[in-house]
Chains A and B, each alone.
Chain A
Amino acid sequence: MDDVSLGVEQGEVVSLVGPSGCGKSTTLRMVAGLDFPDSGRVLIGDRDMTRVPPQARDVAMVFQGFALYPHMRVREIMAFPLKMRRVSAGAREAKVSQTAELLGITRLLDRRPAELSGGEQQRVAMGRAIVREPAVFLFDEPLSNLDAALRAELRVELGKLLRRLEATALYVTHDQAEAMTLSSRIAVIRAGRIEQIDTPRRIYETPATTFVASFFGSPPMNLIDADQALAAGFTLDLPKAAEQLVLGVRPEHLRVGDAAQGLVSADARVLSSEPHGSDTHLELGLGGVSVRAKVAGFEVPTIDSPMRVGFSAEHARWFDRASGKAL
């Protein structure tokens, strides 16, 4: 990690997003006290926690592989953090029951981890984290070990739970949907540096760099060198010389056929189409470059047929070609 400065307000959920090996988990582990920074500080509240061991930090973590103690029953696993803090047996029992009820896992309390499904293990891992009401929650890709359907379901549940608990949390993920739906703010990390930290909406609508622009969205933002855009036939009002610019347009902002009339448009050819039911992803060739458009409805255009494609000038985003930064 290099020169990272990140503040999380009370009750805020901040996601750390980036490709594998970018340093997001390392950041989380430094906050947890599992790894130590070479320089810099970790503050929780007003306290400097940089060299404080994990057990004294009042943070709870949900691990990617859940890390449930295989020899304990769910009841013992959830009571363990309370036991370590010398909470009385009676109070532990009450707190565990209350938390189990909140998560809907009361019937699992006498089982061992090996007897639980992935989703159930995830809930137990959540239970262990929330049972002791820590100052900070840390999530290390907590849904990535689950199948897609279960992941989507638990994502919704987790969002509700975090809002209900008014939790202060750092959430590491490489899944943009999780980051978008669960966070108050998102920090996009690339090669140990924060590229942009902002609300999900601003990250999506006004990405600070081409990296952020290409990381969010499915399909991601179209990035075309401005001179190629001009050569393809778009009439553009450029903020500076075309050789220094990259044009960015979201696929859903591209209009095709008659809808492109009156917009900044050019002639294209259909290279491929992927109907998804509610919408269709089109790959359109513009001379030497191609763009992806997301159009409503179930469309099956003839491959290689001509098609007009355009966008409103207000949806154009401009990036410096050398630095990749937004203008």
Chain B
Amino acid sequence: MRPSRRFDPLWMLGPTLVLLVVFFFVPLLQAAKSSLYEWDLLTPPRYVGLDNYRALIDSGELGHALGTTLIMSAVVVVGSMALGLVLALALNRPTRFAGFVRSAVFSAYVVSWVSVALLWLWVLDADAGALTALCRALHLPTTHWLGNPKSALYALSGVTIWKIAGYSMVLFLAGLQDIPRSLYEAAALDGAGAWQRFVNVTWPLLRPTAAFVGTTSLIISFQVFDVVRVMTQGGPVRSTSVFVYAIYEQVFLNLRVGRASALVVVFFVLLLGLTALQLWAWRKKGAA
């Protein structure tokens, strides 16, 4: 379609375009440029070529950040999808109680990350925390959930799952409600029990939704920062130093702007790939 007045679209798109350029493209190019310099925010920057990238690889910094982020993402994506799906299946009924629980579960998703982190800091407290108390009451072993390098990353993953499961649930609910009831009735008459109906009808028809939920959860989990900042500050022994937190550490704790920028560039490329994956999932969902 051709606009009747040639410049109207430009006027309308202009404000957004300006914001995007100022707050997105310019900083990104700036970061790409900074990644080629060594700069501590105090002395003048010094050009070092690809040294920052080399240093990140050689020191294992990049590998470590990538590793922790991938582990956390895997746990978060699988956990939040599974929990979201189970909740959606359980709450896909028109009762008031189900409606209340749905709203309650989803409310966690709209609460700020910092509030969630503070709440869970209390729940996971090694001495007075609710989880510790519960484990003691049930005679289960307890640990210093956030202080133990083996458990801290999983504890943060659990908190993230708790926060975003409502998001998966809502999308899965929408997907479930798109499946005509007559298909379940036909399957029941064809001899399928509840589990077979899930395997043969529900899941195949939810697959496009699942692909979409999976990729968006992956992107959310890649960008996790606040819970790490508030709950563990990347520790203990850097076991929770995920990508975005590693960037923050390099700039504000180590004053290494060049290295941080190199991490930003790598992170940008990763997210670009994930977004392409998400677009592909969207198209598939749209086509289904």
Contact = CB atoms under 8 A, between A and B. Distances in A.
B185 A54 contact: yes
B50 interface: no
Contacts of A55: 188-193
Nearest to A65: B182
A61 B191 contact: no
Chain B CB within 10 Å, residue with most, of A63, A65, A67, A128: A67
B191 A81 contact: yes
Interface residues of B, number: 17
A60 interface: yes
A265 to B, nearest CB: 54
A229 to B, nearest CB: 48
Given A69-B201, A80-B200, A53 B180 contact: no
Contact of B189 (A54, A70, A85): A54
If over half of A's interface residues share one DSSP class (helix, strand or loop), that class is named, otherwise mixed; here it is loop
A67 B188 contact: no
A71 interface: yes
Contacts of A85: 191
Interface in A17-73: 32-34, 53-55, 57, 59-61, 63, 65, 67-71
Contact of A63 (B186, B192, B200, B205): B186
Contacts of B63: none
A56 to B, nearest CB: 8
Contacts of A149: none
Nearest to A62: B186
A165 B188 CA distance: 23
A241 interface: no
Contacts of A71: 204-205
By size class, the interface of chain A is 20 to 34
B185 A63 contact: yes
Interface in B10-45: none
Given A63-B182, A65-B182, A71-B205, A54 B200 contact: no
A61 B190 CA distance: 9
B86 interface: no
Contacts of A322: none
A80 B189 CA distance: 11
A61 B200 contact: no
Chain A CB within 10 Å, residue with most, of B182, B186, B192, B196: B186
A34 B189 CA distance: 9
A261 B185 CA distance: 59
A148 interface: no
Nearest to A61: B189
Chain A CB within 10 Å, residue with most, of B187, B191, B205: B191
A54 B182 contact: no
B182 A67 contact: yes
Interface in B101-120: none
A67 B186 contact: yes
B183 interface: yes
Given A69-B200, A80-B200, A53 B183 contact: no
A84 interface: yes
Interface in B166-208: 180, 182-183, 185-193, 196, 200-201, 204-205
A84 B190 contact: yes
B189 A60 contact: yes
Contacts of B183: 67, 69
A63 B183 CA distance: 10
B176 to A, nearest CB: 15
Interface of A: 32-34, 53-55, 57, 59-61, 63, 65, 67-71, 80-81, 84-85, 128, 132
Interface of B: 180, 182-183, 185-193, 196, 200-201, 204-205
18 contacts: A32-B185, A32-B189, A33-B188, A33-B189, A54-B185, A55-B189, A55-B192, A61-B185, A67-B183, A69-B186, A69-B204, A70-B205, A71-B204, A81-B191, A84-B191, A84-B192, A85-B191, A128-B186
